[in-house]
């Protein structure tokens, strides 16, 4: 699939999420729940395309999923890097790895 087609698909997903979020918030959200957010899953995450979608302040996020797992050592490094990024982002202290399980 070429880049323009891929961008079109992600844009379509963004438009669907923008439509569904207010509907969910108005008709499905319970009083004790947070606002809904949208997550668009992609097998390939192009940072330039994501930037052009202008998702910065929205509650719509894009995540890359793996179609094939990398070798165990690379997967572990990537997982630990994601954990470190989350710890910094959410200022988590006294974290223990077994708390993920």
pLDDT in tens, 36-90: 888 888 777 667 766 767 666 677 877 778 788 889 999 999 889 988 888 887 7
- Shared-domain flag, residues 60 and 79: no
101 and 59 both lie in a single domain: no
Overall residue count recorded for the chain in this entry? 101
Percent pLDDT > 90 in the chain is 10
CA dihedral 8, 13, 19, 20 (to 10 degrees): 170
Domain containing 9 equals: 1-67
CA angle (80, 52, 41) in 5-degree steps: 45
* 76 and 46 inside one domain: no
Number of domain units in the chain = 2
Contacts of 44 (CB under 8 A, 6+ apart): 6, 64
**77 lies in the same domain as 62:** no
Q: Which range (2-11, 24-33, 34-43) has the least confidence?
A: 2-11
Please check the confidence at residue 27 and state whether its pLDDT lies above 80.
yes
Q: The pTM is what?
A: 0.53
């Amino acid at each position: 699939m070429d880049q323009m087609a891929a961008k079109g698909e992600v844009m379509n997903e963004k438009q669907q999420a923008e439509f569904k979020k207010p509907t969910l918030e108005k008709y499905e959200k319970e009083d004790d729940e947070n606002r809904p957010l949208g997550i668009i899953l992609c097998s390939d995450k192009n940072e330039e395309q994501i930037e052009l979608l202008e998702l910065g302040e929205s509650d719509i996020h894009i995540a890359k999923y793996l179609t094939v797992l990398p070798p165990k050592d690379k997967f572990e490094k990537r997982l630990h890097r994601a954990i470190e990024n989350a710890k910094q982002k959410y200022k988590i202290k006294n974290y223990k790895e077994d708390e993920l399980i």
